[in-house]
Amino acid sequence: MDLSVVLSVAALSAPTSQSPTSLPMSLSAQAILVALGFSRSSITAAPYSFEHLDNYHLNRDFPAVAGTSRLSVHLRFGTVSVRQAFKQALAVNDTLVSELIWREFFMQILWHFPQVVTRSFRPAYEHLAWRNSEQDFAAWCAGKTGYPLVDAGMRELNTSGYMHNRVRMVVASFLCKHLLLDWRWGERYFAEKLLDYDLSANNGNWQWAAGCGCDAAPYFRIFNPSTQAKKFDAQGEYIRRHVPEFDSLAYPPPIVAHQYARQRCLQAYRQIR
């Protein structure tokens, strides 16, 4: 099978009545995908690489830098074995190894606690009073929150099917804690958009960001998106790449003030503790 074809397919068209077992073996990989109802997307996945990752632990948090392996989508589609990836990572960087272990950890959580698919790992968080503003959610999805790093991340996701991991943490924290929107809203949106979508990792990381997971960030840890931008994109290179109007009057003001959102979040979380 031509696996490059698999990686370039991201759009699902109308359902087909043919089942995989009824397809003739003589069909090419691309013809099989078409027969199953897939169509080629304009979005393609970047190749993975273990080169230049000696300093992965130093560079991985800077979204403007090509400092990650881009393994995730290949692990999702099986175009690289996780055992092969683990073996190569062992020879390159310990932090990269730990990221693969986190992936396995979330798979184990999903297997042993399948209720996390729809509910918080920590039951108390099911009683959290989410605001669930449709208007705020739409602004977050569109990358129009007035917080440059959040907006850059969401626009990168919407146009490429990918988002840098540091930025994923920032946008997830912003949705749950600045906007007080249910983490499941964000998890579903990521599931729809991410080429590297993996149920266990997506669920585990969203519950981590919301503070309701098995090894979650403390509820009082609330990323300041402006501080995160100064720390990890100091020159605004990543932001300007995805938010071209950043330096103009066309860029919107923040939809919520950080200090106000922080206090509102702390109050809501303390009520369930």
pLDDT in tens, 26-50: 577 778 888 888 787 788 888 999 9
What is the structure's pLDDT at 33?
80
What is the structure's pLDDT at 40?
78
What is the structure's pLDDT at 86?
95
Q: Give the three-state DSSP class for 166.
A: helix
In the chain the beta strands, taken as DSSP E runs, fall at 11-12, 38-39
What is the structure's pLDDT at 12?
36
Looking at the chain, the whole-number percentage of residues with pLDDT higher than 70 is: 90
**Domain range annotation of the chain:** 3-39, 56-114, 123-270
What is the structure's pLDDT at 26?
56
Give me the chain's average pLDDT, please: 90
What is the structure's pLDDT at 104?
96
- Catalogue the active-site residues: 99, 102, 130, 165, 183, 206
Whole-prediction pTM: 0.86
Angle at 231 between CA 223 and CA 70, to 5 degrees: 85
d(CA 26, CA 119): 45
Q: How many CB atoms lie within 10 A of CB 60?
A: 20
Nearest to 261 by CA among 173, 200, 196, 197: 173
What is the structure's pLDDT at 186?
98
**pLDDT tens for each residue of 10-25:** 433 333 444 444 545 4
Q: How many CB atoms lie within 10 A of CB 88?
A: 17
What is the structure's pLDDT at 188?
98
> What parts of the chain have a pLDDT lower than 70?
1-26
- At the topology level of CATH, where does 123-270 sit? DNA Cyclobutane Dipyrimidine Photolyase, subunit A; domain 3 (1.10.579)
Q: For residues 136-167, b (16+ Cβ closer than 10 Å) or e, as one string?
A: bbebbbebbbebbbbbbbbbbbeebbbbbebb
- Cβ atoms of residues 259 and 253 within 8 Å: no
- Cβ atoms of residues 174 and 83 within 8 Å: no
What is the structure's pLDDT at 3?
42
